[in-house]
Amino acid sequence: MNHDSPELFDRMGGADALSAIVQDMYERIFNDPQLAPFFKHVQADRLRKMQYEFLASAFQGPVNYTGAELTAIHHNRGIHAAHFALFCTHFAEAARAHGAKEVDVDQALGQLATYKDKITGDSNVDG
Ligand code: HEM
């Protein structure tokens, strides 16, 4: 692992590490009683693949995201700020469990925070 690399994707361990983090993150999410109901009818394999692509791309890795636009896919699901915060906590715990450094976890969480309005619809809907 090259800790001098400028890209967050590489600093987090590259493709293998991020795949493992995504897998672990959704295990935590599917076992969280507050989040599990949102994912009841979802194709987990596609979700993990698309989330890997999205995060790899968001963390400046050499990957293109081929999934749905974030606002469209999360719209009208009743996702609120508290759900978003739990989701981010599970991401952070999964990243730490796979050896991510705290400075890199912080940067990743900062990046995720930029998508909050798209996920919760806060920019369109009040409450
Ligand atoms: C920064 C936070 C988040 C990111 C980056 C994110 C990203 C994604 C991505 C990339 C997909 C796959 C889109 C596709 O299949 O084309 C997805 C699907 C989904 N997300 Fe999120 N998500 C986030 C937070 C959340 C939260 C907080 C919830 C609910 C509590 C949620 C619920 C869902 C559900 C239910 C789907 C599946 C939709 C379907 O297949 O019909 N997401 N998300």
- The residue ranges of every structural domain in the chain are 8-120
pLDDT > 90? residue 16: yes
Q: Which of 47, 64, 120 to mutate to test the pocket of ligand 1 (most atoms within 8 A of CB)?
A: 47
Residue-wise pLDDT for 105-124, tens only, equals 999 999 999 999 999 987 54
Tokens 């890209």 locate to 7
SS3 123: coil
What percent of the chain stands above pLDDT 90? 90
* 107/114 Cα distance (integer angstroms): 11
- Is 3.10.50.40 the CATH classification of the domain at 8-120? no
Do 92 and 105 form a contact (C-beta atoms < 8 A)?
yes
* 107/79 Cα distance (integer angstroms): 23
pLDDT > 60? residue 3: no
Residue 17 tokens read as: 């590490």
ipTM of this predicted structure: 0.98
Instruction: pLDDT band for 125, please (50, 70, 90 cuts).
Output: very low
Q: Is the CB of 39 under 6 A from ligand 1?
A: yes
Do 77 and 118 form a contact (C-beta atoms < 8 A)?
no
Q: Which residue, 93, 124, 112, 102, is CA-closest to 27?
A: 93
Q: Is the CB of 26 under 6 A from ligand 1?
A: no
**Least confident range of 2-6, 21-25, 64-68, 82-86:** 2-6
